[in-house]
């Protein structure tokens, strides 16, 4: 290797060490931070959905139209926020489960508890979004059966 190529090679090594490696490290760090922040927002959105779901169920149970309107709007916003934060591949299963879990007048308590169980399992990575609706329906039925046997 002649002296000219040695200088070029030295410059490439110096550039890599002083510019590219720190840039790559910062890029990986930024990506990890964005992922962490998204996970925090996703968990907050899950909590908001569960709270709004319970508020809607309470308003239905106590037949309070004013509270029901506010709770319905809050639930719609919370569900929208959760769907926006979720990965696009998970939205269909998540949406189906959330729609199935809307509180009703007759089985509000069981619907709220079943959604709490499956949604927190999904948020914790213990359940896939694809299985959310079927797992919700199984959990709901188990809670209804348990109520009958009390």
DSSP labels, 65-129: HHHHHHHHHHHHHHHHHHHHHS-GGGHHHHHHHHHHT---SSSHHHHHHHHHHHHHHHHTTSS-G
Please name the residue that has the structure tokens 């506010």: 70
pLDDT score at 1: 58
Residue 105 reports pLDDT greater than 70: yes
**What is the SS3 assignment for 63?**
coil
Share of the chain above pLDDT 70, in %: 98
* Helices and strands (H and E) in the chain: how many: 6, 0
14 vs 112, more confident: 112
Between CA 135 and CA 119 the distance in angstroms is: 10
pTM of the predicted structure, to 2 decimals: 0.77
Residue 136 reports pLDDT greater than 90: yes
31 vs 126, more confident: 126
Give the chain's mean pLDDT: 90
Domain boundaries, the chain: 39-148
Query: pLDDT digits over 23-76, tens only?
Result: 778 888 888 899 999 999 999 999 999 999 999 999 998 888 899 999 999 999
107 CB contacts (<8 Å, ≥6 apart)? 140, 144
Handedness of CA 118, 81, 98, 112 (dihedral sign): positive
70 CB contacts (<8 Å, ≥6 apart)? 55, 59
Between CA 12 and CA 97 the distance in angstroms is: 55
């Amino acid at each position: 290797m002649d002296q000219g190529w040695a200088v070029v090679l030295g410059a490439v090594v110096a550039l890599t060490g002083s510019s590219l490696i720190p840039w790559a490290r910062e890029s990986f760090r930024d990506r990890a931070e964005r992922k962490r922040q998204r996970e925090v927002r996703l968990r907050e959105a899950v909590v908001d959905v569960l709270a709004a779901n319970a508020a809607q169920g309470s308003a239905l149970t106590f037949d309070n139209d004013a509270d029901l309107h506010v709770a319905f709007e809050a639930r719609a916003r919370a569900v929208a926020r959760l769907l926006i934060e979720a990965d696009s591949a998970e939205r269909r299963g998540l949406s189906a489960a959330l729609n199935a879990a809307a509180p009703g007048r007759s089985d509000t308590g069981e619907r709220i508890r079943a959604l709490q169980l499956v949604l927190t399992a999904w948020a914790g990575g213990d359940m896939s979004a694809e299985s959310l609706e079927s797992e919700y329906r199984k959990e709901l039925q188990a809670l209804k059966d348990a109520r009958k046997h009390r």
